[in-house]
Amino acid sequence: MIRVGVLGAAGRMGQEVRRTVASADDLELVAAVDPDHVGEDADGVQITGSVDALSDAGAEVAVDFTRPSAVKANVQWCLEHGVHIVVGTTGMTAEDIDDLRTVAEGAEANCVIAPNFALGAVLLLRFAAEAARFFDAAEVIELHHDGKADAPSGTALATARAIDAARAGDWSAPDAIGADPSSRGADVDGVRVHAVRLPGLVAHEEVLFGGPGQVLTLRHDALDRSALMPGVLLAVRSVATRPGLTVGLDALL
Protein backbone atom coordinates (compact mmCIF):
# COMPACT_ATOMS: atom_id res chain seq x y z
CA MET A 1 0.00 0.00 0.00
CA ILE A 2 1.48 3.36 -1.09
CA ARG A 3 0.67 6.30 1.18
CA VAL A 4 -0.15 9.35 -0.97
CA GLY A 5 -0.59 13.06 -0.25
CA VAL A 6 -2.13 15.57 -2.66
CA LEU A 7 -0.91 19.18 -2.95
CA GLY A 8 -3.52 21.52 -4.38
CA ALA A 9 -6.13 19.11 -3.04
CA ALA A 10 -9.13 21.42 -3.49
CA GLY A 11 -8.40 22.38 -7.08
CA ARG A 12 -10.09 20.77 -10.05
CA MET A 13 -7.19 18.44 -10.76
CA GLY A 14 -6.52 17.92 -7.07
CA GLN A 15 -10.07 16.73 -6.47
CA GLU A 16 -9.80 14.26 -9.35
CA VAL A 17 -6.48 12.93 -8.03
CA ARG A 18 -7.95 12.55 -4.53
CA ARG A 19 -10.89 10.52 -5.78
CA THR A 20 -8.66 8.35 -7.96
CA VAL A 21 -6.17 7.63 -5.18
CA ALA A 22 -8.92 6.93 -2.65
CA SER A 23 -10.53 4.38 -4.97
CA ALA A 24 -7.29 2.53 -5.87
CA ASP A 25 -6.76 -0.78 -4.07
CA ASP A 26 -3.00 -0.31 -3.72
CA LEU A 27 -2.98 3.38 -2.70
CA GLU A 28 -4.05 5.20 0.45
CA LEU A 29 -4.87 8.90 0.63
CA VAL A 30 -3.23 10.12 3.84
CA ALA A 31 -2.78 13.88 3.36
CA ALA A 32 -4.43 16.76 1.51
CA VAL A 33 -2.84 20.21 1.38
CA ASP A 34 -4.47 23.43 0.14
CA PRO A 35 -3.92 26.70 2.05
CA ASP A 36 -7.18 28.20 0.76
CA HIS A 37 -9.38 25.34 2.02
CA VAL A 38 -8.03 24.40 5.44
CA GLY A 39 -10.38 22.26 7.50
CA GLU A 40 -12.51 21.00 4.62
CA ASP A 41 -13.06 17.29 4.09
CA ALA A 42 -11.12 15.66 1.25
CA ASP A 43 -12.34 12.12 0.71
CA GLY A 44 -12.04 11.32 4.39
CA VAL A 45 -8.90 13.38 5.01
CA GLN A 46 -8.98 16.89 6.46
CA ILE A 47 -7.30 19.52 4.29
CA THR A 48 -4.36 21.30 5.92
CA GLY A 49 -2.46 24.38 4.86
CA SER A 50 1.14 23.23 5.19
CA VAL A 51 3.26 20.82 3.19
CA ASP A 52 4.54 19.58 6.56
CA ALA A 53 1.35 17.51 6.69
CA LEU A 54 3.01 15.07 4.28
CA SER A 55 5.61 14.11 6.86
CA ASP A 56 3.11 14.15 9.70
CA ALA A 57 0.92 11.65 7.81
CA GLY A 58 3.79 9.45 6.69
CA ALA A 59 3.18 10.09 2.99
CA GLU A 60 5.52 8.19 0.70
CA VAL A 61 4.48 9.97 -2.52
CA ALA A 62 3.05 13.44 -3.09
CA VAL A 63 1.14 14.55 -6.17
CA ASP A 64 1.37 18.26 -7.00
CA PHE A 65 -1.28 20.07 -9.01
CA THR A 66 -0.87 23.55 -7.52
CA ARG A 67 0.34 26.79 -9.10
CA PRO A 68 3.48 27.82 -10.98
CA SER A 69 4.39 30.12 -8.09
CA ALA A 70 4.30 27.28 -5.54
CA VAL A 71 5.40 24.12 -7.31
CA LYS A 72 9.18 24.54 -7.23
CA ALA A 73 9.25 25.06 -3.47
CA ASN A 74 6.94 22.07 -3.00
CA VAL A 75 9.19 19.80 -5.04
CA GLN A 76 12.31 20.96 -3.23
CA TRP A 77 10.65 20.37 0.15
CA CYS A 78 9.62 16.84 -0.82
CA LEU A 79 13.06 15.94 -2.15
CA GLU A 80 14.71 17.25 0.99
CA HIS A 81 12.28 15.41 3.28
CA GLY A 82 12.36 11.99 1.60
CA VAL A 83 8.93 12.16 -0.04
CA HIS A 84 8.76 11.10 -3.69
CA ILE A 85 6.79 13.59 -5.78
CA VAL A 86 4.78 13.46 -9.00
CA VAL A 87 4.28 16.88 -10.60
CA GLY A 88 1.53 17.85 -13.02
CA THR A 89 1.78 21.58 -12.40
CA THR A 90 3.23 23.40 -15.40
CA GLY A 91 4.87 26.82 -15.61
CA MET A 92 8.35 26.03 -14.28
CA THR A 93 11.23 27.29 -16.39
CA ALA A 94 14.04 25.17 -17.75
CA GLU A 95 16.27 26.74 -15.09
CA ASP A 96 13.82 25.69 -12.36
CA ILE A 97 13.92 22.10 -13.57
CA ASP A 98 17.72 22.16 -13.76
CA ASP A 99 17.83 23.42 -10.16
CA LEU A 100 15.51 20.62 -9.01
CA ARG A 101 17.51 18.04 -10.94
CA THR A 102 20.57 19.08 -8.93
CA VAL A 103 18.62 18.76 -5.68
CA ALA A 104 17.28 15.34 -6.73
CA GLU A 105 20.76 14.01 -7.45
CA GLY A 106 21.65 14.04 -3.78
CA ALA A 107 18.21 13.27 -2.38
CA GLU A 108 16.70 10.06 -1.03
CA ALA A 109 13.44 10.84 -2.84
CA ASN A 110 12.68 10.95 -6.57
CA CYS A 111 10.62 13.22 -8.79
CA VAL A 112 8.57 12.71 -11.96
CA ILE A 113 7.47 15.84 -13.84
CA ALA A 114 5.12 15.58 -16.82
CA PRO A 115 3.58 18.43 -18.81
CA ASN A 116 0.61 16.16 -19.53
CA PHE A 117 -0.43 12.81 -18.05
CA ALA A 118 -2.95 11.92 -20.78
CA LEU A 119 -1.73 9.05 -22.95
CA GLY A 120 -3.20 10.67 -26.06
CA ALA A 121 -1.24 13.87 -25.42
CA VAL A 122 1.98 11.88 -25.08
CA LEU A 123 1.24 10.13 -28.37
CA LEU A 124 0.46 13.45 -30.08
CA LEU A 125 3.88 14.76 -29.11
CA ARG A 126 5.50 11.60 -30.49
CA PHE A 127 3.49 11.84 -33.75
CA ALA A 128 4.34 15.55 -34.07
CA ALA A 129 8.06 14.83 -33.80
CA GLU A 130 7.69 12.18 -36.50
CA ALA A 131 5.74 14.49 -38.82
CA ALA A 132 8.27 17.28 -38.30
CA ARG A 133 10.87 15.18 -40.11
CA PHE A 134 8.86 15.71 -43.29
CA PHE A 135 7.11 19.07 -42.70
CA ASP A 136 9.25 22.01 -41.65
CA ALA A 137 6.25 24.36 -41.45
CA ALA A 138 4.27 23.90 -38.24
CA GLU A 139 2.26 25.84 -35.70
CA VAL A 140 0.73 24.79 -32.37
CA ILE A 141 -2.62 25.82 -30.92
CA GLU A 142 -3.44 24.90 -27.32
CA LEU A 143 -6.85 25.45 -25.74
CA HIS A 144 -7.58 25.23 -22.00
CA HIS A 145 -10.18 26.21 -19.42
CA ASP A 146 -10.18 29.77 -18.15
CA GLY A 147 -8.68 28.75 -14.79
CA LYS A 148 -5.33 27.69 -16.25
CA ALA A 149 -2.78 30.24 -15.14
CA ASP A 150 0.24 29.58 -17.37
CA ALA A 151 0.38 30.17 -21.12
CA PRO A 152 1.52 28.62 -23.35
CA SER A 153 0.81 25.31 -21.68
CA GLY A 154 3.64 22.98 -20.74
CA THR A 155 2.37 20.49 -23.29
CA ALA A 156 2.48 23.07 -26.07
CA LEU A 157 5.99 24.13 -25.11
CA ALA A 158 7.18 20.51 -25.12
CA THR A 159 5.53 19.92 -28.50
CA ALA A 160 7.09 22.98 -30.07
CA ARG A 161 10.54 22.01 -28.82
CA ALA A 162 10.12 18.45 -30.09
CA ILE A 163 9.15 19.78 -33.52
CA ASP A 164 12.17 22.08 -33.61
CA ALA A 165 14.52 19.25 -32.63
CA ALA A 166 13.13 16.87 -35.26
CA ARG A 167 12.57 18.97 -38.36
CA ALA A 168 15.17 19.05 -41.07
CA GLY A 169 15.08 22.76 -41.89
CA ASP A 170 14.10 26.14 -40.52
CA TRP A 171 10.78 27.74 -41.37
CA SER A 172 8.99 30.89 -40.31
CA ALA A 173 5.93 32.76 -41.52
CA PRO A 174 5.96 36.57 -41.80
CA ASP A 175 5.47 38.50 -38.59
CA ALA A 176 2.16 40.30 -38.27
CA ILE A 177 1.89 43.77 -39.75
CA GLY A 178 -1.03 45.57 -38.17
CA ALA A 179 -2.50 46.72 -34.91
CA ASP A 180 -1.13 43.89 -32.76
CA PRO A 181 1.92 41.87 -33.85
CA SER A 182 1.35 39.49 -30.89
CA SER A 183 -1.53 37.98 -32.86
CA ARG A 184 1.07 35.64 -34.40
CA GLY A 185 1.50 33.97 -31.01
CA ALA A 186 4.61 33.13 -29.02
CA ASP A 187 7.83 32.10 -30.75
CA VAL A 188 9.01 28.89 -29.06
CA ASP A 189 12.26 27.69 -30.64
CA GLY A 190 11.06 28.93 -34.02
CA VAL A 191 7.57 27.40 -33.74
CA ARG A 192 4.57 29.70 -33.30
CA VAL A 193 2.35 28.71 -30.36
CA HIS A 194 -1.13 30.13 -29.78
CA ALA A 195 -2.95 29.88 -26.42
CA VAL A 196 -6.74 29.98 -26.00
CA ARG A 197 -8.46 30.28 -22.59
CA LEU A 198 -12.24 29.84 -22.44
CA PRO A 199 -14.83 28.44 -20.05
CA GLY A 200 -16.15 25.10 -21.24
CA LEU A 201 -12.76 23.83 -22.38
CA VAL A 202 -10.68 21.28 -20.46
CA ALA A 203 -7.35 20.57 -22.24
CA HIS A 204 -6.88 20.46 -26.00
CA GLU A 205 -3.97 20.72 -28.44
CA GLU A 206 -3.80 20.97 -32.20
CA VAL A 207 -0.66 20.88 -34.32
CA LEU A 208 -0.86 22.07 -37.92
CA PHE A 209 1.79 21.06 -40.47
CA GLY A 210 1.80 22.65 -43.89
CA GLY A 211 3.38 21.65 -47.19
CA PRO A 212 2.84 22.33 -50.88
CA GLY A 213 -0.83 21.68 -51.55
CA GLN A 214 -1.52 19.95 -48.23
CA VAL A 215 -2.07 20.39 -44.51
CA LEU A 216 -1.65 17.72 -41.83
CA THR A 217 -3.56 18.21 -38.57
CA LEU A 218 -2.88 16.37 -35.31
CA ARG A 219 -5.30 17.00 -32.44
CA HIS A 220 -5.87 15.68 -28.94
CA ASP A 221 -8.89 16.51 -26.77
CA ALA A 222 -9.06 15.72 -23.07
CA LEU A 223 -12.80 16.01 -22.52
CA ASP A 224 -12.63 15.20 -18.83
CA ARG A 225 -9.87 15.33 -16.20
CA SER A 226 -10.23 11.58 -15.76
CA ALA A 227 -8.20 11.27 -18.98
CA LEU A 228 -5.08 12.17 -16.98
CA MET A 229 -5.62 9.74 -14.12
CA PRO A 230 -4.11 6.55 -15.64
CA GLY A 231 -0.91 8.49 -16.25
CA VAL A 232 -0.92 9.94 -12.73
CA LEU A 233 -1.40 6.47 -11.24
CA LEU A 234 1.44 5.11 -13.37
CA ALA A 235 3.74 7.85 -12.10
CA VAL A 236 2.71 7.39 -8.46
CA ARG A 237 3.41 3.66 -8.69
CA SER A 238 6.69 4.14 -10.60
CA VAL A 239 8.37 7.19 -9.05
CA ALA A 240 10.13 5.20 -6.29
CA THR A 241 11.98 3.20 -8.96
CA ARG A 242 13.05 6.25 -11.02
CA PRO A 243 16.19 7.69 -9.34
CA GLY A 244 16.61 11.44 -9.55
CA LEU A 245 14.34 13.60 -11.68
CA THR A 246 12.42 12.24 -14.66
CA VAL A 247 10.72 14.55 -17.17
CA GLY A 248 7.89 13.25 -19.34
CA LEU A 249 5.38 10.43 -19.01
CA ASP A 250 6.85 8.72 -22.08
CA ALA A 251 9.85 7.67 -19.97
CA LEU A 252 7.50 5.49 -17.89
CA LEU A 253 5.63 3.89 -20.78
Residue 145 annotated in active site: no
> What strand order describes the sheet that includes 45-48?
41-42, 45-48, 27-33, 2-7, 61-64, 84-87, 111-113, 245-247
The amino acid at 99: D
Q: For residue 76, give the H/E element and its range.
A: helix 68-80
**Is 180 in a helix, a strand, or coil?**
coil
Cβ pair 224, 118 in contact under 8 A: no
| CA-based nearest residue to 34, from 20, 13, 19 | 13
Which of 148, 194, 204, 220 is flagged as catalytic?
148
Query: Could you confirm whether 204 is annotated as catalytic?
Result: no
Which entry of 37, 144, 204, 220 is annotated as an active-site residue?
144
Cβ atoms of residues 222 and 121 within 8 Å: yes
CA trace torsion 155, 156, 162, 163 (10° rounding): 150
Residues known to be catalytic: 144, 148
